[in-house]
Amino acid sequence: MLRPINYPEGAPGQGSIVLETSKGKVGVINVQCRTFMLPILENPFRVMQTAVEKMRTETSVIVVDVHGETTSEKIALGRFLDGKVSAVLGTHTHVQTADEQIFPDGTAFLCDAGMCGPVNSIIGRAVEPIVQRFISNLPAQFPVANGEVRLRGALVEIDETTGRASRISRIDEPAEASSGKSQSEGTLENEYKEEQENG
């Protein structure tokens, strides 16, 4: 289980992992911001500096999931890690941002990758109960919304040798009603099959 690396020592799971892939080793680190976030964890900047230095002894391809509420803190972490990791992708707000870019030293950045889930919703939950909660201030259950589902995220091209990103693009694709798979999933499956067939 991957959880924020700045959780206290002894917390279940781990904050980072290095995966063996057909293209080589890929490191993944999850870190949680502190502004407007509970519980307040260890300083993510200091923890990330140590974690990235350690991981770079194994691989130069490192993807960081920054879980945070504010754009400013996620951007600051991205700038802090520029040139040290391949990509910094934000999560938590459920709303995909439109600020994908490559920082000067080669790190791809997106403030929030967005949510995979129902579109006609309030961050994935049925609209009416949440609107009523804001009006009444009374506790309520928030069931998952129905209807159109979209896959959101990011696609990053990374040089396997240097770890520098060369391109980042947002993904925002509708799910296919017939198979339940998104267009992106189908495309990725086809690319994987072709790669296996062609060696």
- pLDDT-based confidence at residue 177 (cuts at 50, 70, 90): low
Q: How confident is the prediction for the chain on average, in pLDDT?
A: 90
Count how many Cα atoms sit within 13 Å of the Cα of residue 116 in the half-sphere of its side chain.
Answer: 13
Given the structure tokens 């993807």, which residue do they identify?
63
User: Which residues neighbour 107 within 8 Å (Cβ) at sequence distance 6 or greater?
Assistant: 78, 81, 82, 83, 84, 85, 86, 87, 88, 164, 165
Which architecture characterizes domain 16-114+148-198 according to CATH? 4-Layer Sandwich (3.60)
What local confidence, expressed as pLDDT, does residue 194 receive? 55
CA–CA dist 20, 162 (Å, integer): 17
Q: Which two tokens stand for residue 15?
A: 């904050």
pTM of the model: 0.84
Evaluate whether 167 touches 157 at the Cβ level (below 8 Å): yes
Can you give the residue ranges of every domain in the chain?
A: 16-114+148-198, 118-147
Residue 91 scores a pLDDT above 90: yes
Containing 155, the helix (H) or strand (E) segment is: strand 149-158
pLDDT digits (tens, 9 = 90+) for 40-75: 999 999 999 999 999 999 999 999 999 999 999 999
Q: Which two tokens stand for residue 165?
A: 């990103």
Q: CB atoms < 10 A from the CB of 79, how many?
A: 14
Residue 28 scores a pLDDT above 60: yes
